Structure 1
Amino acid sequence: MIYLVEHFYSIQGEGRYTGTPSLFFRFGGCNMKCEGFACEETLSDGTKLLGCDTIYAVNREHFSKNWIPINKSNELLNVLDEYKLPPHVDVVLTGGEPLIYANEPIFIEFLNALHVAGHRVTFETNGSLHVDFLKYPVYKECIFALSVKLSNSNEPLSKRIRGDVISSITSNAKESFFKFSIGASSINRDLQEEITSILLHAPKTKVYCMPLGGSKLEVESNSEPLIEFCKLKGYNFSDRLHMRIWDKEKGV
């Protein structure tokens, strides 16, 4: 079963294609929690949850009742008819972690239909889940934004860094790039060592560093130190444009 959390037409706010009009599909479920990012969600009963800034697409226990079960690929494809879209608009698949559905027949049908229709498809993924490029060649036509998690996520090293997966994706995908979430307090010698160890698995893949934060204020406070880090190391700074414009508002 595939679960869709939300869909919306906006601009890409992060990474290589920042500013590009894109139709987003946010899928429910993830193989990580990333509580170290410390983005807080308070439920109606006062319960406080910690995780990433899309915890509502990660935490199955508290949010799955709001997720939409998908039984046919057409239920996803019909979403395109709900918007006034330019031809061949970019489609971004995000989450949660969209690749938990990588082997689902419905998901493969959806991807093939998007490719045939001429859409550029980008996965926003943590880069820890295997993709079968031989069995499902459509993945070779997709772009992968690899948001590989650093130690600031509080996820164990063996779970968040899968060198074989990173190497496979960057070797087989049409295009790929790294997109690291970094807070000012994480910028030190250990950070560079972390990134260097990841790049060993894909040394020719471009690096984008974006400021950590679940709000406009947090993003802005982490931006200048991160820009200086990027200038020093030669990495690309990626803004989080949607956070600066819409702050905590969801679905934009």
Structure 2
Amino acid sequence: MLYLVEHFYSIQGEGRYTGVPSLFFRFGGCNMKCEGFGCEEEASDGTKVLGCDTVYAVNKEHFSFNWSPIQKTQELLNVLDLYELPQRPVDIVLTGGEPLIYANEGIFVEFLEKLHEEGHKITFETNGSIAVDFEKYPIYKECIFALSVKLSNSKEPFRKRVNGDVIYSIASNAKEAFFKFSIDADSINLGLDEEIFNITLHSPRTQVYCMPLGGNKAEVEANTEPLIEFCKAKGYNFSDRLHIRIWDQNKGV
């Protein structure tokens, strides 16, 4: 069974397609917690849960009221009819949580196939640790993958967050792929360049985008200037987090 946490029509705020109008599907569930990111969300029972800036799409225990079970492909396709889209096809972004935990689910694969048939561009926002069967499900070869491989600042162990075979497979088989790292100012002076190298060596020709870590506007702004200087020195692409800079902590925008 799939769980859909939210959907919204907005602009892409990160990575290669920043500023592009996109319809987002945020799926529930993840294979990581990333408590090192330090973003805190308060549940309805008052419990404060630590994790990434979308912890409500990771922690089902405390945020299950946001998680809608999906049992048919058409339930997902119906979402497109809820919005006054300026034109079709449109950019569709599948995010989470970690959307690839559903990579082998029949409902999910059929959803991708239907989107592709209608001409939509499909982008996955993934941590790049879960294998995709490109031969069994060739639809994934038609998708774009933003590989947000987690760094040590996530507090996840290296063996869990970095899978070289998966990174290589996605970058080699996908229609398009790029790295997208979340970086705080403190990490820049703690061997960050070597850490990024140890990830990107699995696909050295794949472009790198670095974006400031933060769950709110103040945190993003505090990490922006040091990160820009790092990108200038290393030749990486700087990616803003435009949605947070504009809407701060508001969800679904």
Q: Same fold (TM over 0.5)?
A: yes
Is the Cα–Cα contact under 8 Å of residues 4 and 25 in structure 2 kept in the other structure? Answer: yes
- List, as ranges, runs of 4+ consecutive aligned residues in structure 1 with deviation greater than 4 Å: none
Letter matched to residue 180 of structure 1? F
- Distance in 1 between residues matched to 2:79 and 2:229, nearest whole Å: 41
- Correspondence for 1:69: 69
Give the C-alpha shift of residue 126 in structure 1.
Answer: 0.1
Is the Cα–Cα contact under 8 Å of residues 43 and 63 in structure 2 kept in the other structure? Answer: no
SS at match of 2:191: helix
1:98-137 matches, within 5 Å, as 98-137=99-138
Is the Cα–Cα contact under 8 Å of residues 28 and 64 in structure 1 kept in the other structure? Answer: no
- Correspondence for 2:235: 234
Letter matched to residue 11 of structure 1? I
Letter matched to residue 75 of structure 2? E
- Correspondence for 2:211: 210
Give the C-alpha shift of residue 65 in structure 1.
Answer: 3.1
- Correspondence for 1:149: 150
- Distance in 2 between residues matched to 1:74 and 1:8, nearest whole Å: 17
Letter matched to residue 174 of structure 1? K
Where structure 1 has 5 or more consecutive residues not aligned to the other structure, the ranges are none
- Correspondence for 2:9: 9
Identity of aligned residues (%): 77
- Correspondence for 1:80: 80
- Distance in 2 between residues matched to 1:80 and 1:65, nearest whole Å: 22
Is the Cα–Cα contact under 8 Å of residues 127 and 150 in structure 2 kept in the other structure? Answer: yes
SS at match of 2:49: strand
The TM-score normalised by the length of structure 1 is 0.99
- Distance in 1 between residues matched to 2:172 and 2:3, nearest whole Å: 29
Where structure 2 has 5 or more consecutive residues not aligned to the other structure, the ranges are none
- Distance in 1 between residues matched to 2:20 and 2:99, nearest whole Å: 20
Give the C-alpha shift of residue 45 in structure 1.
Answer: 3.5
Give the C-alpha shift of residue 189 in structure 1.
Answer: 5.0
- Distance in 2 between residues matched to 1:233 and 1:200, nearest whole Å: 15
Give the C-alpha shift of residue 46 in structure 1.
Answer: 3.0
- Distance in 2 between residues matched to 1:7 and 1:189, nearest whole Å: 37
Deviations 1:40-85 (A, max 9, x none): 1123443221100000000011112321100000000010011111
Deviations 1:160-183 (A, max 9, x none): 000000000000000000000000
Q: How many aligned residue pairs are there?
A: 252
SS at match of 2:233: helix
RMSD: 0.7
- Distance in 1 between residues matched to 2:192 and 2:124, nearest whole Å: 25
